[in-house]
Each structure stands twice: as structure tokens, then as C-alpha cells.
Chain A
Amino acid sequence: DQQVKQNSPSLSVQEGRISILNCDYTNSMFDYFLWYKKYPAEGPTFLISISSIKDKNEDGRFTVFLNKSAKHLSLHIVPSQPGDSAVYFCAANAEIQGAQKLVFGQGTRLTINP
């Protein structure tokens, strides 16, 4: 049962344009969402997060949008840079059986073309 889904395994964007990465979730208990960037053989690096009580959070080139009714969030990167090429994971936090847990999506490989 995949509670957090990233349906696009890969995305290719021209340098300078906007990258939009999407994420859907099924569990309405998720109260906090995070985006991570990951390179091969490294741990995930935190990018940006959003609480379920908000619909937008912005940090520099990164903006995360949350649509609770649709159980959908997206990460916008603008302008996209070659260094943004990596795998991006969407993660959702919930308290399950008294413990905080983070559930990850499958990841989207973003490639920024010069």
C-alpha cells in the first residue's frame, strides 16, 4: 500500500525554466510534508517542508504547494539549474500508533539540461 506516490519516475527540464515535481498521498493523517533531494550513494538532503495547515511555503527558488482536498502537493523550482539534477523524494509525516513516522514516495529523477 503506497501511501505516498510520485507517479513520474523522471522529469527533464531546460535550464532556466520551471521544474514541477508532483506528489500524491492517501492518508489524511499526514500532518507535515517534506521534500528531499538525493544523490546516488548519499543520504537525503532536506529542501523544504509544509505543514498541513498551510497551502504554500517558499524558500528561495523552491516553493511547495499543498492541496489538502486533492491530497496533492508539488515542488516548484525556478529557475532550474544544472546543479538541481538529482532524485527528489516527497515524504509525509504522521503519528502512527503513538510514534512519528516519515513515509517516502518513490522519487522523481530530475535532469536539468543546459
Chain B
Amino acid sequence: GAVVSQHPSRVICKSGTSVKIECRSLDFQATTMFWYRQFPKQSLMLMATSNEGSKATYEQGVEKDKFLINHASLTLSTLTVTSAHPEDSSFYICSARRPPRGYTFGSGTRLTVV
């Protein structure tokens, strides 16, 4: 149980276009989901907390207009990288919180902007 599906696993897009990444909790309801970014050989950096039915909470230094987060249902959160640039190339990972203490992670999305 407690599976989080993240799609796509890999995406290559042209500079200036937008890319949407989906994160679904398959067998549980997730009122809170999280989006992380990982640079090569570095830690997972929390970008934002996605709350179902309300606005996402962004970490300091993360551009809200660049990384649009929508959490319209209890099982789906989306991250849209708008007007992507090569420096946005990274590994993005979502996770869903399972109260009281659990977190389940998606398999990640490798974004390459060319």
C-alpha cells in the first residue's frame, strides 16, 4: 500500500516551453504533497508544499510563477515548469504525506531542457 505514481519519468523539452509533471497517490488520499528538486550528487531540496484545495506554500528562493503547483484533488498534485530554461534541468521528486508520520515518494522525473 501507499503508492505514489509520478509521471513522466523523463522529459526533454525545448527552452521556453512549459512542462507538467503529475504526482498521484494511488491507494490513499493525500491532503499534503511535497515537491523536491535534486541536483546531481546533492540532497533533495524542498521546493514547495502542495495543499489540497488551497495555494501551495513555496520555500524561500523558489519562484512561484516559474513553478506552478496545483493540488485540485486528494490524489493529484501537478508541478508545471513554465518557460523552461536549461538551468531548470534537474531531477524532480514528489512525495505524499501519510499521517501521522509517513511520507511516500514518487519515482522522480528527469527534466532536460535543451
The chain A residues found within 8 Å of chain B, CB to CB, are 32, 34, 36, 41-46, 49, 51, 89, 91, 93, 99-107
For the complex of A and B, list the 7 residue pairs with the smallest distance between their C-beta atoms, beginning with the closest.
Answer: A43-B105, A104-B44, A106-B43, A43-B107, A104-B43, A43-B108, A44-B105
Q: Which chain B positions have C-beta within 8 A of A102?
A: 34, 46, 95, 103
Q: Which chain B positions have C-beta within 8 A of A43?
A: 4, 6, 93, 95, 105-108
B32 at the interface (CB under 8 A from A): yes
Give the interface SS of chain A, mostly helix, strand, loop or mixed. Answer: strand
From residue A61, how far is it (CB to closest CB) to chain B in Å?
Answer: 21
Once the chains are docked, how many angstroms separate the CA of A45 from the CA of B32? 19
Q: Jot down 21 A-B pairs with beta carbons below 8 A, ordered by A.
A: A32-B101, A41-B9, A42-B107, A43-B4, A43-B93, A43-B105, A43-B107, A46-B102, A49-B101, A51-B101, A93-B101, A99-B32, A99-B49, A101-B46, A102-B46, A102-B95, A102-B103, A104-B36, A104-B43, A104-B44, A107-B43
